Copies of this chain bind each other. A is one copy, B any other.
Amino acid sequence: MADNAGKEIDRLIDLMAKLPGLGPRSARRAVLQLIKKRSVLLEPLSQAMAEVAVTARECVTCGNVGTSEVCGICSDPKRDDSLICVVGDVADLWAMERASVFKGRYHVLGGVLSALDGVGPEELRIPLLARRVSEGGVREVVLALNATIDGQTTAHYIADQLEGSGAVVTSLAQGVPIGGELDYLDDGTITAALKARKTF
């Protein structure tokens, strides 16, 4: 890696290169930047990581990542208990929250079903979802899963599991993304958008 830079620095570069989005080259650049900005970046970052390592935990109800046993969303009294949005990962939950449009609760599966990767329902938080819905009070379950094959397989599986639970199962609409140009869209999206066309 970085010859003669000292084993502590080499080790830091190796670890940084394991982060998603960083390769060996950008890890080296990041480490040099960290060393240059020792007091404003390196030390605070080290400390922030140590704090998160101690405080971060999974919400027992929805699976969101937070710093308390029940996350801020699950404990917010202003949210609608009768509406549950099912997402694959915490990153998807955060993406939904940035849109600031959903005012119900969440349920994070922790992945999607995948025959290839050997991920079955028991590996995900699907049984927990079924139990949560069966406890009653849930009017609608919105499936906000990725529009990939695995995502849609998971959606179908969950819809089957929730049949007879009394909750309506819905899913995000598929179609042309806002700002999307038809010329750049794949055939599948155009087909879905045409099939789901609405009166203008």
Binding site for B on A (CB under 8 A): 2-9, 11-12, 15-16, 18-22, 26, 28-35, 38, 41-53, 55-56, 64-68, 71-73, 76, 89-91, 94, 97-98
| Pairwise interchain contact A9-B65, C-beta atoms closer than 8 A | yes
| Pairwise interchain contact A2-B67, C-beta atoms closer than 8 A | no
Taking chain A's interface residues, is the majority helix, strand, or loop, or is none over half, making it mixed?
A: helix
Partner of A21, one of B30, B46, B98: B30
Known contacts A19-B41, A21-B21, A22-B22; can you find 5 more A-B pairs with CB under 8 A? A11-B48, A12-B49, A12-B52, A15-B48, A32-B89
Q: How far is the CA of A102 from the CA of B91 in the complex (A)?
A: 46
Residues of chain B within 8 A (CB-CB) of A50 are: 43, 46, 50
Residues of chain B within 8 A (CB-CB) of A31 are: 52
| Pairwise interchain contact B26-A21, C-beta atoms closer than 8 A | yes
| Pairwise interchain contact B49-A42, C-beta atoms closer than 8 A | yes
Residues of chain B within 8 A (CB-CB) of A38 are: 53, 56
Asked whether A94 and B2 contact (CB < 8 A) given A15-B41, A65-B35, the answer is: yes
Asked whether A15 and B44 contact (CB < 8 A) given A5-B65, A94-B3, the answer is: yes
Q: How far is the CB of A26 from chain B (nearest CB, A)?
A: 4
Q: How far is the CB of A59 from chain B (nearest CB, A)?
A: 10
- Return the 4 tightest CB-CB contacts between A and B, nearest first: A4-B72, A6-B67, A46-B49, A21-B26
